[in-house]
Amino acid sequence: MSPPEVIVHPDAAHLARAAAARLITRIVDAQWSRGSASIVLTGGGSGIGVLEQVAASPVLDAVDWRRVHIWWGDERFVAAEDSDRNDLQARVALLGHLDLDPDLVHPFPALGGPHGDDADAAAAWYAEELASHVGADPAETAFDVLMLGLGEEGHCASIFPQSPAARDQRAVCAVYDCPKPPPTRVSMTFPTLARSAEVWFMTTGAGKADAVAAAVGGADPLDVPCAGPRGRDRTLWLLDTTAASRLPQDRTRLP
């Protein structure tokens, strides 16, 4: 488990562009060393903003997109065509512009899909999908990069403070009564979020500053879930100056 490294960008636009460049480079490196790459996307403004910048990148074609596995850390359990879906937002921002292998794109099932309104069944299906592609052993690294946003109260993916999901030891779980709408979601749990070589938290704005300081300072993940996930090789906190404003100065470095 790697310690948090903080990188501060001047604003949200710089952060999104720099993270997009970082993501492309990381995928190219993984493809050259192993033949394929595996990334985990996140919902939320910061995560989608990065995907938009990947789509706009002049070096987009440096990646062989047909050899990239795409996963989601969590999903809002709404209908497939609902604009709240992380999957749909990612398709609009980036995935719809790429030549992907559909067998390597792994969206969560939608409400009204094969599992109807059963979010538990949708979560169990996603756990099977993971197991069949990356194995079920939590000791095995499954992803090259896992991106996460965070909420003001410290949630990440759909793991909210003191929620049952924060204690769930299955690979994926359904989450009910979420404080951030929509109320029903499906989420990777901590054991799965811990299976990435690199974890990148990305967030902006003063509203996130307390959660960032608590997580980087080593808070209990039951209270501040974004303190939990760490990359096996690297844990990056990609912030703008306002989100970094409550960190002690020796934890920040300028790009």
Looking at 5, 14, 45, 131, which residue binds ligand 6PG (CB under 6 A)? 45
By the 8 A CB rule, do 226 and 148 touch?
A: yes
- Distance of alpha carbon 252 from the chain centroid: 22
| 43 touches ligand 6PG (CB under 6 A) | yes
Residue 180 to residue 160: CA distance in whole angstroms: 9
By the 8 A CB rule, do 62 and 98 touch?
A: no
**Identity of the residue, 108 or 125, whose beta carbon is nearer to ligand 6PG in the bound complex:** 108
Here's the x/- map for ligand 6PG, 72-91, by CB under 6 A: it reads as --x-x---------x-----
Strands 196-203 and 74-76: unpaired
Stretch that binds ligand 6PG, among 31-39, 122-130, 144-152, 216-224 (CB under 6 A): 144-152
Stretch that binds ligand 6PG, among 11-19, 95-103, 143-151, 247-255 (CB under 6 A): 143-151
191: its two tokens: 């054991």
**Identity of the residue, 44 or 161, whose beta carbon is nearer to ligand 6PG in the bound complex:** 44
Residue 51, φ and ψ in degrees, nearest 5: -60, -40
By the 8 A CB rule, do 214 and 250 touch?
A: no
Other beta carbons within 10 Å of 121: 16
**Identity of the residue, 63 or 237, whose beta carbon is nearer to ligand 6PG in the bound complex:** 237
**Identity of the residue, 63 or 202, whose beta carbon is nearer to ligand 6PG in the bound complex:** 202
Residue 164 to residue 98: CA distance in whole angstroms: 37
**Identity of the residue, 149 or 161, whose beta carbon is nearer to ligand 6PG in the bound complex:** 149
Residues 6 or more apart whose Cβ sits within 8 Å of residue 104: 36, 66, 67, 68, 69, 70
Looking at 4, 107, 109, 149, which residue binds ligand 6PG (CB under 6 A)? 149
Residue 121 to residue 173: CA distance in whole angstroms: 9
**Shortest Å distance, C-beta 64 to ligand 6PG:** 27
| 221 touches ligand 6PG (CB under 6 A) | no
**Identity of the residue, 38 or 46, whose beta carbon is nearer to ligand 6PG in the bound complex:** 46
Judged by the rule CB under 6 A, the positions of this chain that interact with ligand 6PG are: 42-47, 74, 76, 86, 149-151, 155-157, 180, 203
